[in-house]
Amino acid sequence: MKILISGSTGTVGTHLINAISSDSFEIWRLVRSRAGGDNLIFWDPEGGRVDDPDLLEGFDAAVHLSGENIVGRWTKKKKNSIRRSRVLSTRYLVSLFSGLQNPPKTFICASAIGYYGDRGEERLTERSAVGSGFLPDVCHEWENEANKASDLGVRVINLRTGAVLSLKGGMLGSLLPLFKMGLGGVVGSGGQYISWVSIEDLSRIIVYLLEHGEVTGPVNAVSPNPVTNKQFTATLATVLRKPAWFAVPAFAIRLFFGEMGRYTMLASSMVFPEKLISSGYEFLHEDLGSALEDIILR
């Protein structure tokens, strides 16, 4: 299978390439840097440039993982970068597909469970409506651009990813230094739900979707067992054998992180992978405790 991957230097992209490098896959990477290497195609999505469009012919699948990190104060400039990096790159990539004689048969485009917004204890599946706010608006626009590829006969999957557990980034990578020093604790009320997925499962889910052509549309890439912030904190502290007594009040999150903290760290999304389960996907990590032990202690 010949696969084109954007965002290949990020946490997810790097792990995915390492996971699928085998005789079964021929991997090409869309890159923004002209650094040397094999199977590279240079592009500038916001500038609307690609070195050689003919190299995009004949791929079995494209996996689009590019996007500005949402962590940081959401200034007007930062929010614009978050949106543009997702929406414009997806729009440009689909426009490139439209000019090909043989566009990819499958297009897996990253999205996020931010699509649902802050929904408390509501049970959320792929059939749930879009939420309200900045992140839901971005995800909705992002997915709409990806879905335009279906007009070309391409199978489109909107990969709504939860909090990715990895030592090399994301929520867990940020929390580990504090928890290892015994400075971890509950954030806000601790009742907000975290829908998570291990980096190993996320890579396996992408490969699964590449190989199962019957699955299409939005797919929640999360464990079937979301947990509250309080449960996550207790489980991580237990795995590390450290105390977690330092609670961070909601007002401090809003003060130091602004809008980003309010709509990420304090938001609640209880999301379930209904489509993956019904299609037969078997999770490597269903339980948070075993996932953290495998990731941290192995």
Kindly report, residue by residue over 221-258, the tens digit of the pLDDT: 999 999 999 999 999 999 999 999 999 999 999 998 89
- For the chain, report the end-to-end CA distance as a whole number of angstroms: 31
pLDDT of the residue at 46: 86
Alpha carbons 130 and 227: distance in angstroms, whole number: 21
pLDDT in tens, 162-196: 999 999 888 899 899 999 999 999 999 999 999 99
Q: Which residues contact 28 (CB under 8 A, 6 or more apart)?
A: 2, 3, 4, 5, 39, 40, 41, 55, 59
**14-50 confidence digits (pLDDT tens):** 999 998 877 789 999 999 987 778 899 999 998 889 9
Tell me the DSSP string of 139-168.
HHHHHHHHHGGGGGT-EEEEEEE-EEEBTT
Q: How far apart are CA 159 and CA 92, in angstroms?
A: 18
Cβ 30 vs Cβ 43: under 8 Å: yes
Beta strands in 205-269 (DSSP E): 217-221, 227-228
Listed residue (232, 99, 221) closest to 159, CA to CA: 221
Tens of pLDDT, residue by residue over 189-227, are 999 999 999 999 999 999 999 999 999 999 999 999 999
How many CB atoms neighbour CB 139 within 10 A?
25
In the chain, the domains with their CATH numbers are 2-297 (3.40.50.720)
Instruction: Report helix, strand or coil for 251.
Output: helix
CA dihedral in degrees (113, 108, 202, 87; nearest 10)? Answer: -40
Tokens 């999150």, residue? Answer: 253
Query: Is pLDDT above 80 for 63?
Result: yes
Mean pLDDT of the chain: 95
Query: Is the predicted pLDDT of residue 1 greater than 90, yes or no?
Result: yes
Give Cα 111 to chain centroid, integer Å: 6
